[in-house]
Amino acid sequence: MQRQQSMQRSAQPPGHALASGTLSNNALHPFTRSAENSRLFAYEQQVKQAFSAIEPFLQRLSAMQHEADFEARAQQLASSELGFELPATLLVDSWIKPLDIGQLYAWCVFETFRSMSDDFFDSKPLADGDDAEFQAFLEQCGFHTLDVSPCADGRLAHVIRYVLRLPYRAVRRKSYAGAMFDVDDSLQKWSETEMRRYREGYPNQADAPTRYLKVAVYHHSSSQPNCEGCAAHGSDTQRAADAALERLKDFRQAVENSFCCGASIDLLLIGLDTDNDVIRLHLPDADGEIDASSYIDAAELHQATKSASTSGAETVISEYLKAQSSSLPSEGMVQLAARLLCGNLSQIDYVRQYHSGCYQDIGHQECFIGMGIGFEEVQLRNLTYFAYLQTVEEGAKDMDVGIKIFTGLNANRGLPIPVVIRYDYHSHVPGARARAEGRCHQMDAALRSRFSEYAERGLLHTLLMVRDCSNDAKAETVGSSLKLNEQVAH
Ligand SMILES: [Zn+2]
């Protein structure tokens, strides 16, 4: 936050510096899945470039607004540069009055997000087809659910699919500022999970000897530890780790106190260096206890195993873990840890291959705020600042942080802050869709009232969406602050 003055979106589209890998394939770690790396990179580049094309496009549009045949030329340019047309009402009479670039900007961001979101649910670009295999592996390790709470910071939004290389549909992700997840919400999820095991045998039978595994992911920045770490913990890495661990223990305590008969859960703490995606794994000991100051460093593992034979990656890593730890957790936890670390080795090489070993955008460069409940389609780094909340009042702190970040990125330059308000619902619950839509509108009104100065100056724009997550449907638009008749009725 202290760097607000210098927070401006990089003028260079990310693809510019990422055009080619800087490591040849034979310099990669033997365990790195290079075909997967190139597929993940193609997706990241495609989405990031779509967003970064918006500003240069609007600059060109602004410069040509007084030229003859402006409207037709503008639409032609929008189609070729951005892949969609602009609302005609925003282009008319440009010879009399200046173009409303702020509204055009918000429209372009929302349209780009909608197209990315539709593509995600239609063609599943990040699916790896291994959901069932992963679930079977998880159960073999002694767990039936993997529930991950990263920090809400946009630089951790890719933690499931990229950093840990897990199938995103087989893992629960719910982000909170500072990884300070809601214990009551987690307890409710735990109860629901155990109830389904009893009633439906899903994901496995209730008498199977497996447990619920809760993971918290905190973060730090190795190059600028004092200002680019976690804002919620004053950029203090140890504080971030201690607080996340405390929250994990509270959750375990909550389960143990609320349900008898030996009910408990397993815990895992992960730290992420947002400069290069290297993880720190704080493994529990034989008694399930975690030490927030001792961890396995994936970069050290990368170095130590770089000459290993290509086969048996997870066995090599398990052996490494056993050699490093004095008190080992269960064999299943070691196996799971080996898989997470193995995935992270690919990601370390990914950053080395395509981002010169350290991201250019080590600070905030998100394109929009995502507010509400949902956003499964956002699995990319530094695209979205999340504010998961039921009401603006409850999530006031997260929203304030988000608006502050975007004041530096957008509002100080006169560009509006784009906020996508979203509620996912289950269509098998009667009335759920109407309630989700109602919540979107309530949230929109509360946001405008809390940040009325921004709203009155045209510096806050919203897109309202709902999604039926039980049918794996696409998200639907149910409203927008851009009152342009024809444009939001998709
Ligand atoms: Zn954070």
One-letter-per-residue 3-state SS of 57-119: HHHHHHHCCCCCCHHHHHHHHHHHHHCCCCCHHHCCCCCCCCCCHHHHHHHHHHHHHHHHHHH
What whole-number distance in Å separates Cα of residue 358 and Cα of residue 366?
Answer: 17
Q: Which of 333, 219, 202 is nearest to 276 (CA)?
A: 219
Say what the pLDDT of residue 18 is. Answer: 41
Q: How far does CA 440 lie from the centroid of its chain?
A: 20
Which residue matches tokens 């005609």? 88
Q: How far, in Å, is the centroid of ligand 1 from the Cα of 86?
A: 36
Q: How far, in Å, is the centroid of ligand 1 from the Cα of 292?
A: 16
Say what the pLDDT of residue 242 is. Answer: 98
Q: Which of 274, 231, 262 is nearest to 401 (CA)?
A: 231
Say what the pLDDT of residue 6 is. Answer: 41
Q: Which of 63, 274, 246, 263 is nearest to 151 (CA)?
A: 274
Q: Are 263 and 212 in contact (CB under 8 A)?
A: no
| Active site positions, annotated | 153
What whole-number distance in Å separates Cα of residue 60 and Cα of residue 374?
Answer: 35
The encoded tokens of residue 15 equal: 């693809």
Q: Distance between the two ends of the chain, CA-based, in angstroms? A: 37
What whole-number distance in Å separates Cα of residue 231 and Cα of residue 444?
Answer: 25
Q: Are 272 and 279 in contact (CB under 8 A)?
A: yes
Q: Are 49 and 87 in contact (CB under 8 A)?
A: no
Q: Please report, in tens digits, the pLDDT of each residue of the chain (490 residues total).
A: 333 334 455 544 444 444 445 566 668 999 999 999 999 999 999 999 999 999 999 999 999 998 889 999 999 999 999 999 999 999 988 888 889 999 999 999 999 999 999 999 999 999 877 789 999 999 999 999 999 999 988 999 999 999 999 999 989 998 888 899 999 999 999 999 999 999 999 999 999 999 999 999 999 999 999 999 998 899 999 999 999 999 999 999 999 998 876 778 999 999 999 999 999 999 999 999 999 999 999 999 999 999 998 888 889 999 999 998 888 899 999 999 999 999 999 999 999 999 999 999 988 899 999 999 889 999 999 999 988 877 777 778 788 888 998 999 999 999 999 999 999 999 999 999 999 999 999 999 999 999 999 999 999 999 999 999 988 899 999 999 997 754 443 4
Q: How far, in Å, is the centroid of ligand 1 from the Cα of 323?
A: 32
Paired with 219 in beta bridges are 272
Say what the pLDDT of residue 239 is. Answer: 97
Say what the pLDDT of residue 272 is. Answer: 98
Q: How far, in Å, is the centroid of ligand 1 from the Cα of 297?
A: 20
Say what the pLDDT of residue 274 is. Answer: 97
Say what the pLDDT of residue 485 is. Answer: 57
Say what the pLDDT of residue 26 is. Answer: 64
Task: Enter the pTM of the model.
Answer: 0.91
Question: Dihedral sign, CA of 476, 455, 179, 350?
Answer: positive
Domains and CATH numbers, the chain: 52-124+364-487 (3.30.1330.140), 131-354 (no CATH)
Q: How far, in Å, is the centroid of ligand 1 from the Cα of 163?
A: 16
Residue 321, H or E segment: helix 313-324
Q: How far, in Å, is the centroid of ligand 1 from the Cα of 278?
A: 16
- Cis amide leading into 87 (omega within 30): no
Q: How far does CA 457 lie from the centroid of its chain?
A: 30
